[in-house]
Structure 1
Amino acid sequence: MSNYVIKYTRGDAVKYISHLDFVRMFHRAVRRSGLHMVFSGGFNPHPIMTVAMPLSVGVTSDGEYMKIAFEDGHGYTEEGIKDRLNGALPAGFTVLAVQRVEGKELDFTKLDRADYIVEALLEQECTVDVEAFLQNRQLLV
């Protein structure tokens, strides 16, 4: 078993996906990519993956982190994992970097801070956005 830290972005097209839906979506994307994740043992096995700090619904990000355990013996490279995941993820998610870590080298439970940049829309910009939204003939949900 090898642990990898994955840095990814979450754009406007997917900012309304809840954390639990994101985890299920990412699990499906890993399966579609052909990568072999490690699963927990027991009656109800689940993939061994940890998201550093779940995002709130409606929030975009330029840099989120997760840790996933992949099976050894498949010859995975960091660049290969990145390319395969980007090919399987829906539009709006992009893997920026993948790095192999040893053992419990990175423990997300020890995070004690995060930096945020909040951009407030002016009332005029909000009106333009709402009008543009209402003009759409099709809305993807």
Structure 2
Amino acid sequence: MAKYWLKYSKGEAIRFISHLDILRAFERSFRRGNIPVEYTQGFNKRPRLSFATPLSLGVTSDGEYVEIALAEDLSEKELADSLNDVLPEGLKINGAKKLSKKMPTLGSLVQAARFEVFTQSEISSLNVTTFLDKKDVIITRTSKRKTRDINIRPLVFEIKQKSKGLSFLIAQGSEQNLRPSELLTSLDVTNYQLHKNETYFLYGENLVTPFQWLEKTEM
């Protein structure tokens, strides 16, 4: 069995399909491309897929990652090309890396993500400056089980204002996770389109891309 990390993009054509639909699109593409994917055991066998993070509905991205297991070896280029030949419009493999040893799951390694938000109206620079100057920005987060107040200021690492929007780097992952919508609500930003640029892991004290992390770890 061989394992690979794939970097893929989700484009405008499929902006409003769900994470479950993305999973199904990959499953169909494995069959159409005759890709020797490894399946789980048991009655309901599924391809061995593990995503770094689910992407929210309506968000496009150039920085999504998925781990797949194959029953036989393929070259990184052959795997990427074979999938790109059969994936639906809007999904594209932008890179593939074969794992040389056992690695933690993608989801357990995610620490941050960079996003861009595009708007038709000007975003208040005062709101951005005021947010960055604060030590505490408390929001109320409601889930099915409970409602709690959290301080989101430590989860925002960077905000840069652009001509028609913002670029921001925020905590994402299993330990600390900030939803982009929570930050944008705090900045009083509405009627926007969101794009994810990249996913980041932590290597030492530095944030690096998953492929950079892999290269440093496998050295």
Q: Is the 8 A contact 2:50 2:105 kept in 1?
A: no
Task: For CA contacts below 8 A with separation 6 or more, give which structure has more relative contact order.
Answer: 1
Give SS of 1:40's match: coil
Give 2:58's aligned amino acid.
G
Give 1:23's aligned amino acid.
L
What is the rounded CA distance, in whole Å, between the counterparts of 2:91 and 2:108 in structure 1? 25
What is the rounded CA distance, in whole Å, between the counterparts of 2:61 and 2:107 in structure 1? 20
State the partner residue of 1:113.
111
Give 2:56's aligned amino acid.
S
Give how far 1:51 is off: 0.8
What is the rounded CA distance, in whole Å, between the counterparts of 1:7 and 1:13 in structure 2? 18
Give how far 1:118 is off: 2.8
- Using the size of structure 2 for normalisation, the TM-score is 0.53
State the partner residue of 2:57.
57
State the partner residue of 1:7.
7
Cα 1:94–1:52, aligned 2, differ >3 Å: closer, same or farther? Answer: same
Q: Is the 8 A contact 2:7 2:95 kept in 1?
A: yes
Give how far 1:120 is off: 3.1
Give how far 1:107 is off: 1.7
1:46 matches 2:52:
no
Range 86-95 or range 111-120, more displaced:
111-120
Give SS of 1:82's match: helix
Give how far 1:2 is off: 0.4
What is the rounded CA distance, in whole Å, between the counterparts of 2:104 and 2:41 in structure 1? 22
Give how far 1:12 is off: 0.6
- Equivalenced residues, count: 124
What is the rounded CA distance, in whole Å, between the counterparts of 1:111 and 1:6 in structure 2? 15
Give how far 1:106 is off: 4.0
Structure with the largest fraction of helix: 1
What is the rounded CA distance, in whole Å, between the counterparts of 1:60 and 1:18 in structure 2? 11
Q: Which structure has the bigger radius of gyration?
A: 2
Cα 1:89–1:112, aligned 2, differ >3 Å: closer, same or farther? Answer: closer
Cα 1:16–1:50, aligned 2, differ >3 Å: closer, same or farther? Answer: same
- Using the size of structure 1 for normalisation, the TM-score is 0.80
Structure with the largest fraction of strand: 2
Give how far 1:110 is off: 1.8
* Equivalent of 1:79 in 77, 80, 101: 77
Runs (4 or more) in structure 1 with deviation over 3 Å come to none
Q: Per-residue CA shift, 1:52-94, capped at 9, x if unaligned?
A: 101000000011000000012xx51110011110000111111
What is the rounded CA distance, in whole Å, between the counterparts of 2:48 and 2:115 in structure 1? 30
Give how far 1:95 is off: 0.5
Q: Per-residue CA shift, 1:8-39, capped at 9, x if unaligned?
A: 01111111110111101111011111101111
Cα 1:47–1:103, aligned 2, differ >3 Å: closer, same or farther? Answer: farther
Q: Per-residue CA shift, 1:74-127, capped at 9, x if unaligned?
A: x511100111100001111110111111343242232242222232312499x9
Give 2:119's aligned amino acid.
L
